[in-house]
Structure 1
Amino acid sequence: MKLGPKAAAAALILSASLALTACGGGTPAGSGGGAAATALTLGTLRDVTSWDPAQAHVGHVLQPYQAVYDTLILREPDGKLSPMLATAWKYNTGNTKLTVDLRTDVTFSDGAKFDAEAAKANIDHFKKANGPQMAQLASVSDVSVVDADTIDINLSTPDPGLEYFLSQAAGLMGSPKALGTERIKTEPVGSGPYVMDKAATVKDSQTVFNARKDYWNKDLQKYQKLTFKILADLTARTNALVSGQVDATLLDPKTGKQAEGAKMKLAANEVDWQGLLLLDRDGAKNPALANVKVRQAINHAFDRKTILEQVMLGQGTPTSQPFGKGSGAWTQELENYYSYDPAKAKQLLKEAGFETGVTLEIPLVPNFETQISVVKQQLADVGIELKVGAALTNTFTADVAAQKFTTMYFSLFQGQPTVAIDQIVSTKALYNPFKSASPELDAKIAAVRNGGADAGKLAQEVNKYVVEQAWFAPLFRVNQMYYTNAKVNVTPQIEQAVPSIYNYSPAK
């Protein structure tokens, strides 16, 4: 994409206007001359562990970072990428250099100026900081400052997901004066629409932000006050929404019934897949998992449709593949690749030499207790014991990376091909901590990275490989049940369980 300065500015204005229209709120009161005189309170699942932008995560946890940090690229609700701190960007012929033009009218909340040096400092810091999403910039070799408002991002290999990553964790821009300091871990310093109210913020309870008076884009700043209430417990989130303590939160099909009874509005969005991540595929800690027939047996043990009906009231789609329909890697032939066949599961275990049984150990994932209970029973029916250990904590990403878990029951989003590959498949992926690989798979991944417009179709081969090799045991894609009260309009964000903060607006 390449826009001239005038076209870029017009596109940004049009983008913001369309975003407001899509949210259903029209122009909020006070826009143009200031933020709307309203407050928004969101119920979230967990607190931020560090406000250093290089430690940012994605999914549920990206929202709070968006309050204080702008990204280089803005991702619209429908997935379109639009200008934000970057006004334009363009690849060279070989797709190994991305030239990015930057805004010249932005400052950080500590007064530092946003410019090419600041953008370079952030990308360099992100690459060195060993954050949970460090794989997003694994293909970046270095960043060059071309002039005051232009950088070149140089790649060691083409990465079709880079522009997407620059709208996510890797694109968050913090003040260069604060990067690497102790202060930024507890007090974010960005150029975003809000600043933290430290006096009102309580760790693991609530984080409060106030609208930044000199924010450069008032159209994205729709509230005077933004509060995130940390409510890990599903029942607590439900009660908080129904009682008016929060304006919006993520529930599930069962608690959603209570919310609907209280006249809450539903925004359903099929985003994630749930199932088992069979991480130790080389048998480093659990030798049974090194045998593909054992992993295939695990897949055949599940009655996916029944599990979906029992635990999600049918809100989703049974599946055997980890790539979603919107990725281009999804194929119909893989949707029901593993049928419910306990007899076949037992036969595969026998052929693998594990007729006497297999033991899998997983951590407990809060809010997934019901799913894990059903999974445990169905595995037991074919001779596989599922041992459930201690609950995941805020250090779970570090624990995953440290190979603490050989198997997990988890929920993972289904993004575009290279994004999903670098989340769960490649040796750079957080959810491939044992670095499973093969020459055949490496070649398929390389084809995707160099595939350009054909990346989605080429990723079908990656999808087929990991399904046939049973790297995972997906059960279903689930509808994310996001509820709001009557005071809020919100547009779901494609491939996100919770909307970006820009997607909310006061209801008239």
Structure 2
Amino acid sequence: MKHIFAAGMSALLLAATVAGCSSGTKDSSGTKQTLTLGAIVDVASFDPSQSDVGNYMQYLQPAYDTLIKIDSSNQLQPMLATKWTYTDGTKTKLELTIRGDVKFSDGTAMDADAVVKSLERFKAANGPRSSALQNVESITAPDKTTVDITLSSPDPALVHNLGLVAGMITNPAAAATDLKSTPAGTGPYVLDTKKTNRGNVYAFVRNQHYYDTAAFPFNEIDIRVMTDPTARLNAVKTGEVDAAFALASQTSTAKGSGLTVLSNPGDWQGLFLNDRDGKIVKAMSDVRVRQAINYAIDGDAILKAYAFGHGSPSTQIFYPGTPAYDDSLNSKYPYDPAKAKQLLADAGYAGGFTLTMPSSTAFFGSVYPILQEQLAAVGIKVVYKNEPASAGLTPYLSQEYPAYMFSWGSSDNWLDASLLLAKNGAWNTLHAGDATIESLMKQIATASGSAQDALYKQLSGYVVDQAWFVPFYVADNIYISSTSVKVVAQPEQSVPSIYNYSPAT
């Protein structure tokens, strides 16, 4: 899942550290013992309640198991919970059966009571994904291996969310300590603070209390912060790291160097027009202005220039192949600057207006000037405010900006709707409300089968008409690896889960 662009240490600082390093040791049989990954972002927090998904998951998964595992086919599998079921017809009462042999990294037992405390803490934390549990009314543990979750209303994405950060169970004893810097979970690895150089490399070694060591073939996982794409490619080529996210423009070079290149549909990339009520920029409250912005941007040209054609045009926020996705919507906003100007004039903004947005060097570097030029051509002046790498997601989740460029990916329609469209959704940052969206989401929550699919498509069409976003395209995720490891791609996820790596021999 997920969808993130943030920055970390510069490639120049990193180069001094990785130069001459090996991507991992081997045992006497020649089996690779250390997996080294190149990450495009630095970790913002090791506290799941304060983290997001996307590229941040690879930092959290070594230290935290989830209640439910999302496998490489996007299917839900048992993990900390061996089974789960709704016990009522309205799907507001979920019962989970918890493993009885799990310990936290400090050796204390994890039981149903610990799960309850972790879920309650996550819900109350007001983090980037707290809305994942927004419908949870109560959580109880009738015995040591059973957790009952009662919802105020049905939540079609609840079980899926328990396979993401909401389902990462934190040690109650560590709740008062600084989880931001030191994880405390039930995962297969623990952070080795002596080997870790924060902002540069994070070293995870085996958790001696883990219940299923055989499921993870590596004795150590090292994650190196490498925000520069050229540095990442070179590091994989030289064997300094085993695998990393790459740019579409690097595909040919990677293949020519004998690297394995995985490509699968990933995030949609484009503009979030969050100021739908005109709280910051009055013009943004007019649907004609938001539609004008859609017509003013040539997504096909950006796809060719930035992603080298590795992707497909899109006007919608939902992932291809999911119930909400409607291919016919992709012709809604052809590139038409003249129409954009007319819509602006009709809305009373023939003279244009100014739009201030954040910028980041981690992603979209070459897109910012293209976007600025295309919007200027219809009278909209774009001013960028550079945000430092240390800011992480804060600028995007704040209420400072009326719009911003971002990358978003998810395979669950309800999850997307809850985060992006619901009035209290974390990524509906200025909390714009819409009666039609609220009505459709209420109907979707209780519907099923083809009736639910039709409602999802109706929701997608309405959001496209209202122009709450400006998707340019759905980009292909490009992931490269050396011949020393085998990697299985994770659909709709920026980087593969740690479960998807194994030694090549």
TM-score norm. by structure 2 comes to: 0.91
**Any conservation in 1 of the 2:112–2:141 contact (CA below 8 Å)?**
yes
Aligned twin of 1:26? none
**Any conservation in 2 of the 1:363–1:405 contact (CA below 8 Å)?**
yes
In 2, distance between residues paired with 1:422 and 1:482? 29
For structure 1, the 5+ residue unaligned runs are 1-28, 31-35
SS at the partner of 1:275?
strand
Structure 1 position 138 matched with structure 2 position 138: no
SS at the partner of 2:277?
coil
**Any conservation in 2 of the 1:318–1:475 contact (CA below 8 Å)?**
yes
Q: What is the deviation of 1:99?
A: 0.4
**Any conservation in 2 of the 1:208–1:225 contact (CA below 8 Å)?**
yes
TM-superposition CA deviations, 1:460-479 (whole Å, max 9, x none): 12111110000011100000
Matches within 5 A, 1:311-460: 311-366=306-361, 367-391=363-387, 393-453=389-449, 454-460=451-457
Q: 1:41 aligns with which of 36, 39, 43?
A: 36
Aligned twin of 1:98? 94
- Which amino acid is the alignment partner of residue 293 of structure 2? I
**Any conservation in 2 of the 1:364–1:389 contact (CA below 8 Å)?**
yes
TM-superposition CA deviations, 1:230-253 (whole Å, max 9, x none): 112222222222222111111111
Structure 1 position 264 matched with structure 2 position 259: yes
SS at the partner of 2:276?
coil
Structure 1 position 110 matched with structure 2 position 106: yes
In 2, distance between residues paired with 1:403 and 1:255? 36
**Any conservation in 1 of the 2:36–2:221 contact (CA below 8 Å)?**
yes
Structure 1 position 160 matched with structure 2 position 143: no
Range moving further from structure 2, 91-100 or 369-378: 369-378
Aligned twin of 1:3? none
In 1, distance between residues paired with 2:268 and 2:97? 36
- Which amino acid is the alignment partner of residue 94 of structure 1? T
Q: What is the deviation of 1:328?
A: 1.0
Structure 1 position 474 matched with structure 2 position 468: no
Pick closer, same or farther for the CA change 1:306–1:53 going to 2, 3 Å: closer
Structure 1 position 171 matched with structure 2 position 183: no
- Which amino acid is the alignment partner of residue 259 of structure 1? A
TM-superposition CA deviations, 1:90-138 (whole Å, max 9, x none): 0122101100001001111111111110100100110122221111111
In 2, distance between residues paired with 1:462 and 1:396? 31
**What is the aligned residue count?**
474
Q: What is the deviation of 1:37?
A: 5.3
In 1, distance between residues paired with 2:240 and 2:220? 14
SS at the partner of 1:385?
strand
Structure 1 position 507 matched with structure 2 position 504: yes
Q: 2:295 aligns with which of 300, 304, 314?
A: 300
**Any conservation in 1 of the 2:387–2:395 contact (CA below 8 Å)?**
no
Q: What is the deviation of 1:488?
A: 1.1
SS at the partner of 2:69?
strand
For structure 2, the 5+ residue unaligned runs are 1-25
- Which amino acid is the alignment partner of residue 414 of structure 1? S
Range moving further from structure 2, 393-402 or 173-182: 393-402
Q: 1:60 aligns with which of 55, 59, 67?
A: 55
Range moving further from structure 2, 372-381 or 316-325: 372-381
**Any conservation in 2 of the 1:73–1:82 contact (CA below 8 Å)?**
yes
**Any conservation in 2 of the 1:253–1:481 contact (CA below 8 Å)?**
yes
Aligned twin of 2:7? none
**Any conservation in 1 of the 2:421–2:437 contact (CA below 8 Å)?**
no
In 1, distance between residues paired with 2:186 and 2:223? 19
In 1, distance between residues paired with 2:351 and 2:188? 59
Q: What is the deviation of 1:450?
A: 1.5
**Any conservation in 2 of the 1:112–1:177 contact (CA below 8 Å)?**
no
Aligned twin of 1:489? 486
TM-score norm. by structure 1 comes to: 0.90
In 1, distance between residues paired with 2:180 and 2:338? 53
Q: What is the deviation of 1:396?
A: 4.2
SS at the partner of 1:406?
coil
In 2, distance between residues paired with 1:415 and 1:280? 25
- Which amino acid is the alignment partner of residue 78 of structure 1? S
**Any conservation in 2 of the 1:277–1:472 contact (CA below 8 Å)?**
yes
In 2, distance between residues paired with 1:285 and 1:381? 22
SS at the partner of 1:481?
strand
In 2, distance between residues paired with 1:489 and 1:254? 23
Structure 1 position 252 matched with structure 2 position 247: yes
Range moving further from structure 2, 290-299 or 446-455: 446-455
Q: What is the deviation of 1:456?
A: 3.5
Q: What is the deviation of 1:320?
A: 1.0
Range moving further from structure 2, 198-207 or 257-266: 257-266
Aligned twin of 1:279? 274
**Any conservation in 2 of the 1:37–1:223 contact (CA below 8 Å)?**
yes
Aligned twin of 1:25? none
Aligned twin of 1:310? 305
Q: What is the deviation of 1:164?
A: 0.5
- Which amino acid is the alignment partner of residue 434 of structure 2? S
In 2, distance between residues paired with 1:314 and 1:365? 22
**Any conservation in 2 of the 1:359–1:385 contact (CA below 8 Å)?**
yes
- Which amino acid is the alignment partner of residue 105 of structure 1? D
**Any conservation in 1 of the 2:46–2:59 contact (CA below 8 Å)?**
no
- Which amino acid is the alignment partner of residue 250 of structure 1? F
In 1, distance between residues paired with 2:47 and 2:104? 14
**Any conservation in 1 of the 2:104–2:209 contact (CA below 8 Å)?**
no
**Any conservation in 2 of the 1:365–1:409 contact (CA below 8 Å)?**
no
TM-superposition CA deviations, 1:57-102 (whole Å, max 9, x none): 1011011111011100011111110100001110122101100001
In 2, distance between residues paired with 1:309 and 1:449? 38
Aligned twin of 1:51? 46
Aligned twin of 1:21? none
Q: What is the deviation of 1:402?
A: 2.7
Range moving further from structure 2, 385-394 or 492-501: 385-394
Identity %: 36
Aligned twin of 1:81? 76
Range moving further from structure 2, 401-410 or 453-462: 453-462
Range moving further from structure 2, 495-504 or 234-243: 234-243
SS at the partner of 2:406?
strand
